[in-house]
């Protein structure tokens, strides 16, 4: 561990000290921002307390002169891609320098006034996507989720035969990944209602969220060359929160034989801050233990390091704030609390498997964990599980119920790590509000296509 993780370290910025923030000086997650109302490209920053430190500004103010020139140049980019591709040791050195500039009682205190001028309140910052995301792959790494969903359709055999042997995933759509706070329009798709002989095109009536964690690839691998599991952590830049919005009625009709397509590709929401592996080091834990009756991972998916420290003790919560709650001034109604450490497959195993056939992962690629669920009812990471496929309405604070999402519903995901002897760190929020659907464009004779909003309630 490096000095940025010292639990006794404090910042001269009071809002960055433990007990009041997701972003103490031990965290320092990276993101891309611009001042609210501004236009043009973003600037690389780190979250510190309730502020954003302008990392590019630190470079321009010559506060990073101890770092190699190519590291300083990476700080001037408008996305994190160049920084993500740096060796982990160089990102660690950058974090150490930023931490020293923000720490109380260090030799850098003469720089405090200059650093203060480079702070922007988070409330005045517009967060952008942290990097250019070239590819996006979504896994299915929670056995609890796979079993919970499987029981809805195959009560006697919920898990398919390959689940315990291979990390299951599908290639998603990178172009529709949006940053937290972006509204999501209810998708229109082809569905076949129960009992109908033929499908029809309509707004999804079974819109769902999925509680997930995202992993950003740092250093990629050449085409044709695999990533040994022992080296997988060296290809990870950091993690974020992720909501894999899902149209369950579209999914049910289209997914055979090739899996998810339009039911998933309309939107995926991520949190804006990327928490580095450095910041997560105090919260690394053993990979989830397998049942005695389960097979052990095949050799390319197994290592002593992964068994001992492949998991991350990350706690996740999901809540909903309906339109009625907002009108009444009521807070978020929390529905789920789940634990990422329970995942059957670790991110190291997902990356090693993804590249095992020679697939080239590239800097900025996003790997999602799949829905994070647990065995108990309140650990289930989507409404499909919480409502038993829409048959058991979920009660919310204030008396409302939901089977699936209604227009105006806002989903809020939060995540945090804490353990004795370490400072609690958080991921911020991953938020998205559902807008009404639009009808498919119908071309009028002599005129342009017309689109009309559709309002759907579950």
410 phi and psi, to 5 degrees?
-115, 130
Which run of H or E residues covers position 169? strand 169-171
C-alpha dihedral sign at 143, 177, 260, 251: positive
Rounded alpha-carbon distances, angstroms, from residue 332 to 44, 185, 209, 387, 414: 30, 21, 15, 19, 12
In angstroms, the Cα distances linking 236 to 140, 216, 276 are 19, 6, 8
Closest CA to 403 of 297, 286, 248: 248
Q: Is the peptide bond before 282 cis (omega within 30 degrees of 0)?
A: no
Give yes or no: 145 in active site. Answer: yes
| Count of C-beta atoms within a 10 Å radius of residue 436 | 15
Distance in angstroms (rounded) separating the CA atoms of residues 208 and 206: 6
Active-site residue (options: 39, 70, 145, 354): 145
Q: Is 182 exposed, middle or buried (0-12, 13-18, 19+ CB in 10 A)?
A: middle
CA proximity to 92, closest of 214, 31, 9, 5: 5
Q: Across 186-332, where does the E strand assignment appear?
A: 188-191, 200-203, 207-208, 211-217, 236-243, 246-247, 268-270, 275-276, 284-285, 311-312, 315-321
Residue 230 has φ and ψ, to the nearest 5°, of: -65, -20
* φ/ψ (deg, to 5) at 363: -55, 130
Show the tokens assigned to 201.
């095109």
Q: Which residues are catalytic?
A: 145
């Amino acid at each position: 561990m490096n000095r940025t993780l010292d639990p006794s370290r404090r910042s001269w910025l009071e809002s960055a000290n433990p007990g009041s923030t997701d972003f103490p000086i031990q965290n320092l997650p990276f993101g891309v921002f611009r001042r609210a109302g501004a236009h043009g490209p973003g600037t690389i920053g780190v979250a510190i307390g309730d502020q954003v430190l302008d990392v590019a500004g630190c470079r321009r103010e010559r506060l990073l002169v101890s770092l190699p020139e190519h590291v300083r140049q990476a700080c001037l980019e408008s996305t994190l891609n160049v920084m993500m591709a740096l060796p982990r040791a160089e990102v660690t050195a950058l974090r150490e320098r930023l931490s020293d500039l923000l720490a109380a009682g260090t030799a850098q205190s003469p720089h405090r006034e200059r650093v203060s001028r480079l702070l922007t309140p988070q409330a005045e910052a517009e967060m952008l996507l942290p990097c250019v995301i070239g590819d996006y792959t979504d896994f299915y790494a929670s056995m609890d989720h796979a079993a919970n969903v499987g029981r809805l359709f195959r009560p006697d055999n919920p898990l398919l035969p390959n689940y315990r042997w291979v990390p299951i995933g599908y290639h998603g759509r990178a172009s529709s990944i949006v940053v937290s706070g972006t509204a999501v329009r209810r998708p229109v798709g082809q569905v076949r209602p129960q009992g109908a002989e033929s499908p029809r095109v309509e707004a999804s009536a079974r819109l769902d969220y999925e509680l997930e964690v995202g992993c950003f690839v740092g250093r990629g691998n050449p085409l044709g060359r695999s990533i040994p599991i022992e080296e997988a952590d060296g290809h990870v830049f950091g993690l974020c929160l992720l909501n894999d919005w899902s149209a369950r009625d579209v999914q049910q009709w289209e997914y055979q034989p090739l899996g998810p397509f339009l039911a998933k590709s309309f939107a995926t929401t991520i949190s804006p801050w990327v928490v580095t592996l450095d910041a997560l080091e105090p919260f690394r834990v053993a990979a989830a233990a397998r049942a005695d009756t389960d097979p052990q991972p095949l050799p390319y998916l197994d290592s002593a390091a992964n068994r001992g420290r492949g998991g991350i003790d990350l706690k996740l919560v999901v809540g909903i704030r309906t339109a009625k709650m907002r009108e009444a001034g009521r807070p978020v109604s929390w529905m789920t609390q789940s634990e990422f450490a329970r995942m059957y497959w670790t991110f190291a195993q997902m990356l090693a498997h993804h590249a095992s056939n020679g697939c080239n992962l590239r800097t900025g690629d996003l790997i999602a964990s799949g829905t994070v669920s647990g065995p108990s009812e309140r650990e289930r990471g989507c409404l499909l599980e919480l409502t038993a496929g829409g048959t058991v309405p979920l009660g919310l604070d204030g008396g409302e119920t939901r089977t699936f999402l209604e227009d105006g519903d806002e989903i809020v995901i939060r995540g945090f790590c804490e353990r004795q002897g370490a400072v609690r760190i958080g991921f911020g929020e991953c938020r998205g509000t559902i807008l009404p659907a639009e009808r498919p464009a119908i071309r009028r004779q002599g005129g342009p296509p017309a689109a009309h909003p559709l309002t759907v309630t579950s």
